[in-house]
Amino acid sequence: MPLTRADVFGDPDCAGPLQPFRFGDKWSGMVLRCPKDGPCRFSELRIPLHWITPKVLTETLRAMERNGFLTRTAHDENPPRVEYELTGPGCSALGPMDAACEWASTHLPELAEAREAYGRRT
């Protein structure tokens, strides 16, 4: 799936503010989906993740590399080229993430209702 597609994350409800699950930090789950079809450059990641600032995206990528979910390869070229690619653990996380998204989509109305009810109590 090309990163330039708006639906790169599948169900938009799973990427919304009602996420009941988090994989890593706030953005890791979304970043993890981008290189699922092969290596990506930073500029390619910025297309589907346009709402994440470059600084935060860089921090997220570094944390994901440190935690073993992706690799960063700097090619000795001019201009410099850096690619990010999923590792085995990164690829294996996609299945559980899909299951969590499916669960969230099924239960989204209940989750939204619970949050509204909680907000009315406070």
Q: Which residues pair with 73 in a beta bridge?
A: 83
Mean pLDDT of 78-96: 93
Domain residue spans in the chain? 12-121
pLDDT digits (tens, 9 = 90+) for 104-115: 889 989 988 999
How confident is the model at residue 25, as a pLDDT?
81
Bigger pLDDT: 1 vs 44 = 44
Which sign, positive or negative, has the C-alpha torsion 112, 109, 105, 20? Answer: positive
Q: Rounded to the nearest 5 degrees, what angle is found at the Cα of 99, between the Cα atoms of 87 and 103?
A: 150
pLDDT digits (tens, 9 = 90+) for 23-53: 678 889 889 999 999 999 999 999 999 999 9
DSSP 12-51: GGGGSTT-S--SSSTTHHHHHHGGGGS-EEHHHHHTTTTT
What is the chain's mean pLDDT, rounded?
84
Q: Report whether 94 contacts 61 (CB < 8 A).
A: no
Q: In whole angstroms, what is the distance from residue 108 CA to residue 9 CA?
A: 16
pLDDT digits (tens, 9 = 90+) for 43-82: 999 999 999 999 999 999 999 999 899 999 999 999 889 9
Q: Report whether 31 contacts 45 (CB < 8 A).
A: yes
Q: In whole angstroms, what is the distance from residue 20 CA to residue 16 CA?
A: 10
Assign a CATH topology to domain 12-121. Arc Repressor Mutant, subunit A (1.10.10)
